[in-house]
């Protein structure tokens, strides 16, 4: 088993071994929820925790400069907010100026964060244009300086990246370079920036990544990301590629809010809609604290809960016509009554007030 230099990540590894034994595995991998823009805020993290959460959560990615910039620092408060009942997440930052990461690391430490992840894989054009995310794959020296600066406050500094920018074989230089930066965790999304998420993840290179890690930095944890739908899917990937330490799930949570549960089971419609109602309540509390949010962003979550049952498409269509949480609740209440009274009928009329 890997002995990690970081006490934070060593505890994550040790705690994962407390889960029930897994057939075919001597070591149980840890599971994390990927940092996702406008998704993994405090509200959604708490909903996932209710459904059966991962070992580690990540925040939405935040521009390192904005954390301490006098004109922007107040706009990031919601991104970095952690409710008292939450498990402390890992903060993920993006950018390319070392001084921003140094200042941000001290700010995060004051907020109670113990770990900081550096985004070196985001494919978004606006991020790349500003020298952040996957653009750092093309600028090794900038990446090195950012990593060094982020360590200033003593947080556990990790990196999330991709195999390359345009070419897959870039990883033969890029990954060894990162492994030499003395980081406790390296997360690799198994695609290039050019590929976005348009092609299947390149699992055929996982064993090579493991070999590189074992040769260059045996005390660095290796986490794999890309096309992993749920815990069972992740465990099977580890069975096929012994040496993987962690599994990160991103878009899979949009197909199944219970993706991280240790013992999978069938869930009722009432359970999934209860999670939606919980998110509505937490959303209202969040906006009351940090100001109004674009309601359109909340709508992207509806498909997580409203699927795989009769009339789900009708309900989703109606939900997408709502403009506030009150309307959503009224619609759900109406659906509950009609579902109970007419679940054996051919149709359920759904209207938005």
pLDDT in tens, 148-163: 999 999 999 999 999 9
Residues 199 and 311 placed together within one structural domain of the fold: no
Same domain, 284 and 177: no
pLDDT single digits (tens) 1-56: 667 889 999 999 999 999 999 999 999 999 999 999 989 999 999 999 999 999 99
Domain boundary among 254, 286, 314: 254
287 occurs within a structural domain: yes
Is 231 one of the annotated binding-site residues?
Answer: no
Query: Does residue 259 belong to any structural domain of this protein?
Result: no
Q: Among the ranges 74-88, 168-182, 309-323, which has the highest mean pLDDT value?
A: 168-182
pTM of the predicted protein model: 0.94
The mean of the pLDDT values for the chain is: 93
Task: Count Cα neighbours of 199 within 13 Å in the Cβ-side half-sphere.
Answer: 11
Q: Is residue 205 domain-shared with residue 74, that is, in the same domain?
A: yes
**Same structural domain for residues 189 and 277?**
no
Q: Is 92 annotated as a binding residue?
A: yes
How many independent structural domains does the chain possess? 2
Q: Are residues 49 and 124 in the same domain?
A: yes
- Please tell me whether 308 is known to bind a ligand: no
Average pLDDT over residues 337-347: 68
Q: Which of 195, 225, 254 is the last residue of a domain?
A: 254
Distance between CA atoms of 232 and 268, rounded to whole angstroms?
20
**Residue keyed to tokens 């109602």:** 277
Q: What is the CATH number of the domain that holds 223?
A: 3.20.20.70
> DSSP for 174-212?
HHHHHHTT--SEEEEEEEETTTTTSS---GGGHHHHHHH
Q: 44 and 153: one domain?
A: yes
Whether 207 and 330 map to the same domain: the answer is no
Which of 254, 278, 305 is a domain's end point? 254
| 49-72: burial string, b at 16+ Cβ within 10 Å, e else | bbbbbbbbbbbbbbbbbbbbbeee
Residues 138, 186 within the same domain: yes
* Residue 345 in this model has a pLDDT that exceeds 80: no
Residue 347 lies in a domain: no
Q: Is 251 annotated as a binding residue?
A: yes
- Position 49 in a domain: yes
Statement to judge: residues 18 and 150 lie in one domain = yes
Specify whether 214 is located in the same domain as 245: yes
Please check whether residue 159 lies inside any domain of the structure: yes
Q: For position 248, what pLDDT does the model report?
A: 98
Residue-number span of the structural domain to which 34 is assigned:
7-254
| pLDDT, tens digit (0-9, with 9 covering 90-100), for 212-264 | 999 999 999 999 999 999 999 999 999 999 999 999 999 999 999 999 999 99
Do 72 and 178 lie in one domain? The reply is yes
Same domain, 182 and 98: yes
Alpha-carbon distance of 345 to 53, in angstroms, equals 36
- Provide the annotated active-site residues: 122
What pLDDT does 72 receive? 67
């Amino acid at each position: 088993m890997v002995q990690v230099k970081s006490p934070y990540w060593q505890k994550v590894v040790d705690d994962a071994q407390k889960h029930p034994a897994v057939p075919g595995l001597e070591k149980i991998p840890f599971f994390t929820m990927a940092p996702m823009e406008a998704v993994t805020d405090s509200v959604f993290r708490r909903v996932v925790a209710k459904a059966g959460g991962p070992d580690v959560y990540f925040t939405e990615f935040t521009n390192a400069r904005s954390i301490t910039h006098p004109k922007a620092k107040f706009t990031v408060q919601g991104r970095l907010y952690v409710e008292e009942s939450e498990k402390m997440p890992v903060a993920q930052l993006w950018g390319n100026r070392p001084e921003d990461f140094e200042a941000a690391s001290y700010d995060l430490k004051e907020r109670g964060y113990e770990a900081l992840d550096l985004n070196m894989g985001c494919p978004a054009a606006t991020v790349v244009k500003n020298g952040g995310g996957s653009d750092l794959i093309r600028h090794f020296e900038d990446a090195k300086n950012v990593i060094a600066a982020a360590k200033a406050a003593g947080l556990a500094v990790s990196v999330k990246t991709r195999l390359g920018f345009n070419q897959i074989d870039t990883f033969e230089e890029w990954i060894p370079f990162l492994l030499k930066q003395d980081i406790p965790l390296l997360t690799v999304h198994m695609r290039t920036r050019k590929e976005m998420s348009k092609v299947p993840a390149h699992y055929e290179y996982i064993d090579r990544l493991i070999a590189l890690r074992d040769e260059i930095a045996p005390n660095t944890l290796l986490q794999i990301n890309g096309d992993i739908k749920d815990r069972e899917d992740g465990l099977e990937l580890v069975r096929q590629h012994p040496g993987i330490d962690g599994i990160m799930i991103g878009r899979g949570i949009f197909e199944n809010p219970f993706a991280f549960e240790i013992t999978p089971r069938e869930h009722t419609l009432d359970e999934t809609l209860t999670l939606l109602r919980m998110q509505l309540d937490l959303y209202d509390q969040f906006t009351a604290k940090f100001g109004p949010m674009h309601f359109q962003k909340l709508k992207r979550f509806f498909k997580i809960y409203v699927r795989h049952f009769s009339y789900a498409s009708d309900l989703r269509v109606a939900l997408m016509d709502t403009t506030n949480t009150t309307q959503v609740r009224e619609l759900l209440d109406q659906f509950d009554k009609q579902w109970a009274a007419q679940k054996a009928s051919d149709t359920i009329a759904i209207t938005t007030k």
